[in-house]
Amino acid sequence: MPSGAAKPAVNSNFLQFLRWGTKALDFYMTECYHNKDDRLSFKKEGRNDLTENKKISDAELEIMKVVWKKGSPLLFAQIMEALQENGIYWQKNTLITLLSRLMEKGYLKANKCGRKNEYVSLVTEHKFQSTQTRNFVDKIYQGNVSGLINRLVENDMLTEAEYDELKKILEVK
């Protein structure tokens, strides 16, 4: 936001849109309609994501970041190498344990390729981020997205470019 410019008021329709209608929260099935006041509303259906409440550790997240960045399928050795490139040096058994946990939680699956496993992501990075965002807003702001938006604006946590990007997103919707 330009310095010296007044901070915009946060419109409740805008907040409702952010809460239930954005692609960033795509695990919600929404039905858009106009009510008699001609205000845009969204019908919240509920969540169906099996991994939604299955939290992953920071170590497991590092593995998922590698899988998302490199693309799947990936062999064990490719994952180990990519982690080492990121400065993470784990023992073989540690990585095997973490991969097993990710499979149990539904984030990865392993396909046999001869005597080796190819690991494939079952959850996209976008889907994971959406779920984590929703959980964060629910936990910290009791589901109130306006609280999050207000903190971002009030504390000058958005760069001018991010602020402009947010405005463009809202203008399109």
What does the pLDDT read at residue 89?
96
Residue 94 counted as domain residue: yes
What does the pLDDT read at residue 100?
96
> Which is it for the CA torsion 134, 138, 144, 145, positive or negative?
negative
Residues 105 and 135 in one domain: no
Asked if 52 contacts 131 with a C-beta cutoff of 8 angstroms, the reply is: yes
Residues 115 and 133 in one domain: no
Residue 3 counted as domain residue: no
Domain final position from 121, 140, 159? 121
Residues 132 and 110 in one domain: no
Domain final position from 121, 139, 155? 121
The answer, as to whether pTM is greater than 0.75, is no
Low-confidence residues in the chain, pLDDT < 50: 11-13, 15-17, 20-50
| Count of positions (residues) in the chain | 173
Query: Within 13 Å and on the Cβ side, how many CA atoms surround 54?
Result: 16
Domain final position from 78, 104, 121? 121
What does the pLDDT read at residue 72?
80
What does the pLDDT read at residue 51?
54
- Give the domain extent around 108: 58-121
Q: What is the pLDDT of residues 141-156, one digit of tens each?
A: 988 888 888 888 888 8
